Amino acid sequence: DAGITQSPRHKVTETGTPVTLRCHQTENHRYMYWYRQDPGHGLRLIHYSYGVKDTDKGEVSDGYSVSRSKTEDFLLTLESATSSQTSVYFCAINQGAGNQETQYFGPGTRLLVL
C-alpha cells in the first residue's frame, strides 16, 4: 500500500468557482500524477510531477493547473470550474524502479460542476 489519500472524496461546485483537489502520499515517491476519467472511458493524464516544483502537462491539461511545494502533496486546481470538468479525478504515484516501475492509484475524487 503506497499510502495515497485524496481529498475531498466528493465535491459539488458551481460553474466559475475555483476548486482545488489534494493528493497526499506518505512514502516520498518522486513521481505523482493527476488523471481524469469520464463515464465509459479510460483515464486521461492531466498533469504530472517529477519532483518538488517540477511539473509537466499531460494530454488534457487545458483549464487545470498543479503545484507541488513539498514531496508529499500534489495539488490540482481548476481556476474557474466548468461543467465539462465534471469527472472523477485520480491521483497516482510511481512505485518500484526501472523496468519494474508501476503506478499505484488513489481512491478518486468525484467532482460535479453545476
Partner 1 sequence: DAKTTQPNSMESNEEEPVHLPCNHSTISGTDYIHWYRQLPSQGPEYVIHGLTSNVNNRMASLAIAEDRKSSTLILHRATLRDAAVYYCILVSGSARQLTFGSGTQLTVLP
Cα dihedral sign, 44-23-77-32: negative
Nearer Cβ to partner 1 (89/113): 89
Cβ 86 to partner 1 shortest distance, Å: 16
Query: What is the rounded (10 degree) CA torsion for 77, 79, 84, 85?
Result: 10
Residue located via cell numbers 460542476 = 113
Cβ 106 to partner 1 shortest distance, Å: 6
Site for partner 1 in 28-67 (CB under 8 A): 31, 33, 35, 40-45, 48, 58-59
Which of 1, 53, 62, 102 is close enough to bind partner 1 by CB under 8 A? 102
- By CB under 8 A, tell whether 9 contacts partner 1: no
- CA 35/CA 47 separation, integer angstroms: 7
Question: Is the bond into 39 cis (omega within 30 degrees of 0)?
Answer: no
Q: Which residues bind partner 1 (CB under 8 A)?
A: 31, 33, 35, 40-45, 48, 58-59, 90, 92, 94, 96-99, 101-108
